[in-house]
Structure 1
Amino acid sequence: MPQADLIIHNARILTMDEARPRAQALAVAGNLLLAVGSDSEILALAGDGTRRIDAGGGTVLPGLNEAHMHIFGGSVSLTQLSLFGVKGFEALKQAVTDYAAANPDLGLLVGLSADYTILSETEKVTRHHLDAILPDRPFMMLAPDRHTAWANTAALKAAGILEGRDVGVGNEIVMGEDGLATGELKETNAIDPVAEMGVTGGRDHLGIGTGGDPDHVTPEERASDLALIRRGLAYCAELGLTSVQAMDGNLYQLEILAEIEREHGLPVRVRMPFHMKNFMDLDMIEAKAADWRRRFDSDRLRCDFVKVFVDGVTESGTAVMVDDYADEPGWKGDPLFTREHFAKVAVEADRLGLQVAVHAIGDGAVRIVLDGYEAARKANGPRDSRHRIEHVEVVHADDVGRFAELGAVASMQPTHPPGSAGLPLEPYLTRIGEARWPLAFAWRSLKDAGARIVFATDWPVSPLSPLSCIQDAMTRRPWKEGMPDQRLSLAETLAAYTSEGAYVEFMEDRKGRLKPGYLADIVVLSGDIEATPAAELATLRAVATICDGRITHQA
């Protein structure tokens, strides 16, 4: 057997390989796993040039796979104001004024993770609240889900939307009785006019809001964007991630990522979709998505699926429900794609052999997507498509079993259930109504019905740390006595971050498990994850991350 380049020993290895689920040590040669076994077996493969990592009894896992995130927006968020956990006007004022004073040259100040109830359970944010904090500089803050934002008057004026603007179906600049914008902006088309005044000119929203590429970027702007993304990728490696599925979906970012790969080597594997918007002609799927698949088709950088938004989010009333919102009789939400329109998209993408991933929050949107996947199967015949539904915050009882029937993957975020990760219970619980609670964020119900599940954070919607996300998954509690416990086991949760993430990428034959011949994507943790209490899982950290056989982070 060849000599090992790298050996990790004295470890508690969870391989995710059913044939050999546990081991003490492993060896790497080049970018592949050479052997997995006992300390004595593996250390015998060491030579003079072998690098050794003593795991100190800590858990070793396949490299973690973030199945849904936004690399550009997340990278930018590392420089922006976090309002996570801020409550009340005075606390908001202090945070914003301190940030403004520390950043006197920013044309637009941006705050992230502002709860819908940041002022109180009953008082809605308006531009007047923000004017009282910062009257003379443009300021905008975004809700944790990034589907709603609030801007002050200076920002609305500078963006030219104080008096409103047509922003298309499913988007809204909320207007007041005085004929002027209240400051509340719903969905990307309403948010982007303000965001475009930020440091990236709104380019971090490309593929999400516009479905396109920038008209013009100066060399200096592109260099800045590249540096931001490199910083974000390094941050991913620090957290133990070796793969990310970045949902932005535009050529500008793909070309930047390809340049980083050529010149420096990507520290994590990146998979990105083509983003299909409702205003695009159907032939765009073949003209762009299929072309991008040919251009970006390596194990390091891939573009081999199509992303679609069918609805918005529950808190703003833009999620699509089967039945009326509990607190808004007569309102179910308007889909961004009609049932018929989405079915055509699904059929065409499926015909071309492209996986489809769809943002669907409400049970009505989930049904539209499942109907589209069923239409694709009928039109093109059954195949191993692994089409995805992103978020699945509410699912109707009649649709739970359809995931397994259609081979659809549920891509879900343990950081998103109200009451988890510091999120408030309201207004979410009142909006969906108690009748929907048992099948909200229904991980266990879907899993028991045979669905494949992958986990992620939707960074920067939620903090990126996978170990914090795993803690949130394991510590979630039902909202009411007698409700089902929707948690998965720790083993299932770890699989949702490793082997299942590889499955949804069609890469289960070469990553997501620690077995000989597989890609050397590995994370070494600071402790034994199985012996750590659920409420303390976030205290663990990645002490070493190896991607493609290369150490990308070592504490």
Structure 2
Amino acid sequence: MQLKTLIKPLLLATILANSCHAIAQTKVIYNANGYTPLYKGEVQQFSTLVIKNGKVINLGGDALKNSFPNAKLIDAHGNTLLPGLIDAHGHVIGLGDNLSQLDVRGTKSVDDVTSKLKVFAKDKQGWIVGRGWNQELWSDTRFPSAKDLDKIVNDRPVVLSRVDSHAIWVNSKALELAGITATTEAPEGGEIIKDEFGNPTGIFVDKAEALITKHMPAPSKEDISNSLDAAGKHLLSLGITSTHDAGIDKTTWQVYKERGDLGNLPLRIVAMLSGASPDLEEMLKAGRYHDKNDFMEIRSVKVYADGALGSRGAALIEEYADRSGHHGLMLETQQKLESIFTQSFKSGFSANTHAIGDKANKVVLDAYQNVFKKTGGILLRNRIEHAQIVKPDDIPRFKALKIIPSMQPVHATSDMHMAEQRLTDKQLSGAYAWQTFLKQGSVVAAGSDYPVELANPFDGLYSAITRMDHNKLPENGWRASEVLNREDALRAFTLGGAYAAHQEFKVGSLEKGKWADFILIDKDYFKVPVEEIYSTHVLQTWVAGKLKYKKEVNDK
């Protein structure tokens, strides 16, 4: 009896010792073509990276590995090693949902969309949900209608989000279930597109979307958790080790904290509470959240000021060049913005505000300025998400007010043709102005806005460096004075995102004491011809010194 009693604790002690040894074992990645931006300094090259307890303890030349004779050696086979990339603006659960929903991204016509719908609808019951249509890619750039969808599905509701999520296209069954008629009025900050007879066409812009979406079944915690895992797997395969999630509801907030406490998140997430959530006050009162290994951080609020350029919802000072008398949509008044900012700052949360049009950016800057004077909060690293169309004389205000421009380089190359139609040259004078922001000393945090855009960060790096599409057009780049060099682009996708999350001493570069988040890729980012950057493939992704993704031989 005494022997059995003794064996159990001895066995447990042995297991724990072995487990601790495994955790503490030093790993040496050698034979790497390594680059890392430095928090204070330029890019450092190295061939050997030393890791212990999930953190960087040293990096240097080939001889460094000889200093660790008992370490586990991992040959990088000469591949390029970079810090893990940070996407400073995405929608994690939306991405995970998209992987199981109807994907109509890149479709060239209404018929193209309905052909995909016909195939998808065969195996689906209940609400049919999809995303990705963009009428600007069609020969007929007018908004589509419910009747187009009715030809394929008329017995179940269909809801298809525009690529930017700022408009939805629904069928007549969805209109019927939501009780939408000619007399239905759009809420302030939204628009119901109607025909010449005043009947709803099936297009709902910005806040009017809720007239439909509130009738859709809410996802369960299990649904959200599954979408999180699906998105995490996809992001890791692209070399993203940390992502900022721009606007989460209460259920997602609960799932994130539960998964953070359990320590089983697939990658690092910096989540923003949705400022539009009816549960915002409750979430703010619960306080900021972070787990012990920096996988989950919740300390900011996502606020929504206007719509998007593609759906003509971005709020402009002067009218749209292609829609006379139309100035877009402010989703909140300046007074309401100031109220949300005040509420956030008093709870210790920063405010990250979506603003695309020049009017929205100006109003948001005014609101920040007023609240800083009354309440404080200027040091919370508040952000403007997108900052796409900004009056040139408002750009210096970002620096003066310590506002971080959180920008998505791929938006410029996706939007450039459409933006030239929507806006005058005067309105474009401060558009997608990454270089101007950097020159004045602003920290640019780069992202993709997935699933609005594809999540691949190498698309974003290519766009930042060239301002050209994948056909190298326009020659020399669109409004090329705003291009970034390769170092600044990489910094925006690493240390820029880390700084915006108050994590510049934890992630974003491979410096001593930081988490060992890194990737191995198949091209030399700094030397490969620029047109090859977007076709870079990730071979391995490591988070906290653990291999989280490895490209299989047959992976595309």
Aligned with 1:470: secondary structure? Answer: helix
Aligned to 1:7: 28
Matched, 1:88 2:109: yes
Matched, 1:354 2:349: yes
Aligned to 2:241: 242
Q: Which structure 1 residue ranges, 5 or more long, are not aligned?
A: 204-220
Residue in structure 2 matching 1:545, options 537, 541, 544: 541
Q: How far did residue 4 of structure 1 move?
A: 5.2
Paired positions, count: 522
Aligned with 2:380: secondary structure? Answer: coil
Aligned to 1:332: 327
Aligned to 2:187: 168
Does the aligned pair in 1 maintain the 2:84–2:242 contact within 8 Å? yes
Aligned to 1:456: 447
Does the aligned pair in 1 maintain the 2:261–2:291 contact within 8 Å? no
Aligned to 2:92: 71
Q: Larger Rg: 1 or 2? A: 2
Matched, 1:319 2:314: yes
Aligned with 1:67: secondary structure? Answer: strand
Task: Answer with 146-155 or 249-258: which moved more.
Answer: 249-258
Aligned to 1:218: none
Q: How far did residue 223 of structure 1 move?
A: 2.2
Task: Answer with 457-466 or 188-197: which moved more.
Answer: 188-197
1:5-44 residue CA offsets vs partner (Å, 9 max, x unmatched): 3222221211211277111110111121121111221353
Does the aligned pair in 1 maintain the 2:90–2:447 contact within 8 Å? yes
Q: Which residue identity is paired with 1:27?
A: V
Taking the aligned partners of 1:274 and 1:445, their CA distance within structure 2 comes to 30
Task: Answer with 153-162 or 309-318: which moved more.
Answer: 153-162
Q: How far did residue 176 of structure 1 move?
A: 2.8
Q: How far did residue 233 of structure 1 move?
A: 1.5
Q: Which residue identity is paired with 1:9?
A: Y
Does the aligned pair in 2 maintain the 1:392–1:411 contact within 8 Å? yes
Aligned to 2:393: 398
Aligned to 1:441: 432
Aligned to 1:210: none
Does the aligned pair in 1 maintain the 2:276–2:304 contact within 8 Å? yes
Q: How far did residue 380 of structure 1 move?
A: 4.1
Q: Which residue identity is paired with 1:257?
A: Y
1:322-342 residue CA offsets vs partner (Å, 9 max, x unmatched): 222223344323422222332
Does the aligned pair in 2 maintain the 1:36–1:42 contact within 8 Å? no
Does the aligned pair in 2 maintain the 1:15–1:62 contact within 8 Å? yes
1:289-321 residue CA offsets vs partner (Å, 9 max, x unmatched): 252315768622111011110111123332211
Aligned to 1:301: 296
Does the aligned pair in 1 maintain the 2:287–2:347 contact within 8 Å? no
Matched, 1:36 2:32: no
Change (3 A) 1:150 1:334: closer
Seq. identity, %:
26
Aligned with 2:286: secondary structure? Answer: helix
Aligned with 1:425: secondary structure? Answer: helix
Residue in structure 2 matching 1:159, options 174, 178, 182: 178
Taking the aligned partners of 1:506 and 1:114, their CA distance within structure 2 comes to 36
Q: Which residue identity is paired with 1:317?
A: R
TM-score, normalisation: structure 2: 0.86
Aligned to 2:232: 233
Q: How far did residue 377 of structure 1 move?
A: 2.9
Taking the aligned partners of 1:169 and 1:325, their CA distance within structure 2 comes to 19
1:370-427 residue CA offsets vs partner (Å, 9 max, x unmatched): 112222332245753211000111000110111111111101112212xx25x6723x
Aligned with 1:224: secondary structure? Answer: helix
1:74-125 residue CA offsets vs partner (Å, 9 max, x unmatched): 1000112222221124433322222223xx2332223321112354244431
Taking the aligned partners of 1:506 and 1:295, their CA distance within structure 2 comes to 12
1:424-467 residue CA offsets vs partner (Å, 9 max, x unmatched): 723x3222222222321111222222221111111111111112
Does the aligned pair in 1 maintain the 2:110–2:144 contact within 8 Å? no
Aligned to 2:199: 180
Aligned to 1:377: 372
Taking the aligned partners of 2:300 and 2:263, their CA distance within structure 1 comes to 26
Taking the aligned partners of 1:278 and 1:235, their CA distance within structure 2 comes to 27
Aligned to 2:12: none
Aligned to 2:417: 425
Taking the aligned partners of 2:231 and 2:179, their CA distance within structure 1 comes to 31
1:191-226 residue CA offsets vs partner (Å, 9 max, x unmatched): 5624754xxx254xxxxxxxxxxxxxxxxx432332
Aligned to 2:250: 251
Q: How far did residue 551 of structure 1 move?
A: 1.6
Residue in structure 1 matching 2:145, options 126, 133, 138: 126
TM-score, normalisation: structure 1: 0.87
Taking the aligned partners of 2:97 and 2:33, their CA distance within structure 1 comes to 36
Does the aligned pair in 2 maintain the 1:35–1:42 contact within 8 Å? no
Matched, 1:494 2:490: yes
Aligned to 1:209: none
Greater share of helix: 2
Q: Which residue identity is paired with 1:425?
A: H
Does the aligned pair in 1 maintain the 2:520–2:540 contact within 8 Å? yes
Aligned with 2:226: secondary structure? Answer: helix
Change (3 A) 1:476 1:46: farther
Taking the aligned partners of 2:88 and 2:35, their CA distance within structure 1 comes to 20
Aligned with 1:543: secondary structure? Answer: strand
Residue in structure 1 matching 2:81, options 38, 45, 60: 60
Task: Answer with 496-505 or 136-145: which moved more.
Answer: 136-145
Change (3 A) 1:179 1:364: closer
Aligned with 1:415: secondary structure? Answer: helix
